Amino acid sequence: MTQSIEKRILEKIKSTRRGTLIFPEDFLNFGSSEAVRLALHRLEKDQAITRVAQGIYVRPKVNKYIGQVLPTLEEIATGIAKRDKIRTVPTGAYALNALGLSTQIPMKIVLLTDGSPREIKIGKRTIKFKKTTPKNLMAKGEISRLVIQALKEIGTGKQTEEEERKILELLKKESRQNLIHDIPLAPMWIQK
């Protein structure tokens, strides 16, 4: 029975695009959670899939020059958010980097969420889901929501003229409708 579960899981994995995240929950209709977990463990041992973190696997993309290409922390965070049906918004140094206001690649990405708070280690880096109020997750615009969090990280009145210029250029790419919706959600000093 377990062998057939493993074979069915492998067939399903091979039918998905390389680089797609794989969670044990994807296969619960194939057998018990224990049988699925064991099958995934064996597939990892056979190098059919790669374990990215506890309970998170991938059939990696392959580059002819560097070999296996694993998903980025951002792709993993997005996959977890989809799986758990939670909303997230990048914050802190991660928001600054995502907007191009900082070249530093944070070792720990912090996402505000309406889901369970937790930390996931991936190699030497970490994804931290931090519980927040619904208001912090209501922004609709991809750019404006990042700008609000980035400015909170910089601090009131501490942004340079260069940062302010970059932010204004970025906000011009945001839809007017999203801006009208998102501005009232920001603290008063950011609204101004």
The number of CA neighbours under 13 Å toward the Cβ of 6 is 14
**Class of domain 2-68 (CATH, top level):** mainly alpha
Could you tell me where in the chain the CATH 3.30.460 domains are found?
A: 73-191
Q: Strands 125-131 and 118-122: what pairing?
A: antiparallel
Strand spans (E) along 6-101: 21-22, 50-53, 56-58, 61-63, 67-69, 88-91
- d(CA 91, CA 147) in angstroms, rounded, equals 9
Please give the CATH topology (third level) of the domain spanning 73-191: Beta Polymerase; domain 2 (3.30.460)
Where residue 192 falls among pLDDT bands split at 50, 70, 90?
A: confident
Provide, rounded to the nearest whole percent, the portion of the chain with pLDDT above 70. Answer: 98
For residue 3, the model assigns a pLDDT of 61
pTM metric for this prediction: 0.84
Residue 96 and residue 150 in contact, taking contact as beta carbons nearer than 8 Å: yes
- Does the pLDDT value for residue 133 go beyond 90? yes
Backbone angles phi, psi at 12, to 5 degrees: -65, -40
Q: How many other C-beta atoms are found inside a 10 Å radius of the C-beta of residue 139?
A: 22
For residue 10, the model assigns a pLDDT of 95
pLDDT in tens, 166-177: 999 999 999 999
Residue 35 structure tokens: 């049988």
pLDDT in tens, 13-31: 999 999 999 999 999 999 9
Could you tell me where in the chain the CATH 1.10.10.10 domains are found?
A: 2-68
Amino acid at 67: G
Q: DSSP state, 19?
A: T
pLDDT in tens, 79-125: 999 999 999 999 999 999 999 999 888 899 999 999 999 999 998 99
